[in-house]
Structure 1
């Protein structure tokens, strides 16, 4: 099977390409220099030339809260253009199977946890990443509409929870929580800092899955695609407090200092947990524990980030 994967240089894309089952498939994964997904003619020409059996859309402009707040136009328009172009070019070239990777930020900010797939567009979005969320909702709905118009087109969406792992970004300004805390705790240990500050009370709950587990799910989805639901959450189905993430990371790195809560800083949403009912019924479960995932990610950080 020939699979066209967008975003092959990102966290999700790299974990898919390096996963053990990837060798059973032929992957096309052009870089953004080789193929500009914002150019519809270039995208449809590429698909027409290569005739993939399957398309996985994992590309996107991503970033933390600061980047989203500073660049809402880019987060909205670039992600909409990429999503629309890859989905419509795939349909135009009669590609029947398509996986759209979305995000749990599509869910309403005040929705009841755990977050069920049916909650999309049932309430207002989190303002700090609204542009990104709107773009992801657009692509998700477009896949639904295409399947509705012609059921032979299986265009489905996977909605992952937060991710961390190998190939993550560890720079303070671009990284998400887990890699940022790994760097922060490691640097505190190296410089013998006795205290580390945590924003807020540390009691907010977050669900982070090891990215290699998402790659495993993507291959499971490919193998069982006909029975996969139209939209499906992919996550743990349970969560941890911010304090628990800090404590686990500190124990893996061997940091023995204390944590101090800065109650003047914001804590963000109290909880963001996906409902895993459909995931469980589909027959898949993550396999990496938090401690094991942190150990593997810290190992990657030491080998590839500190020495590059």
Structure 2
């Protein structure tokens, strides 16, 4: 194929992609200060007109963080008209406590939950429950719409990629409706993972998690903890920008948009954005990709 024909083919594929609906969802975390709370609600207000399929709120260990999650979720549900999806973990909570939380959510009109095992306690004690057990428990309480986590590059605690895939299959078989991936930057790793999911009989959507990067140093720390490969070319794109947040934002937005465009060409239509409670980058990316109020 010559260059002119290649460019025409790329244009045709891009136009076909634009004819399909692009669906988005957003993740937030509960604030721990008055200023962060203001930032959170400003971000939710800014992103709400984009009509996300749902917005999720993370859920940390400890009752204080959990209470903040509950409060944010219920306010989103009550005041915004958005579908609110709390994260729920089974670490440091008994089955009875989890059942009570699930019943309270259902009675409050919450129908979508992101079910996770959660971070292991410092003691290293083996968990009494895992994410597949939590999915089964939730389905036993009510017919929740359940999302679970997936790891294209394998969970950092997994002995190997196959074991990680088996664990995902257990969560789907327990009743999960979709999987949302850890953020990634290697497109091929996601596509290979998606193919492997199909190969073991996982038929739900594997929604890519997209992280718009504004601070490369912070990203490197996140990636080191989560077993995410950061390509060398990304580091080069952020070189010399330590004191230039405006340009860093432009670089981060461009990388995220290219990810979405390539994945769209591979048939992906749903994307989950890790907003870090900031709306600017996510809104700009979605707007440019055609997600409009």
**What TM-score, normalized to structure 2?**
0.39
Alignment TM-score, normalising by the size of structure 1: 0.37
Structure number with higher relative contact order (C-alpha < 8 Å, ≥ 6 residues apart): 2
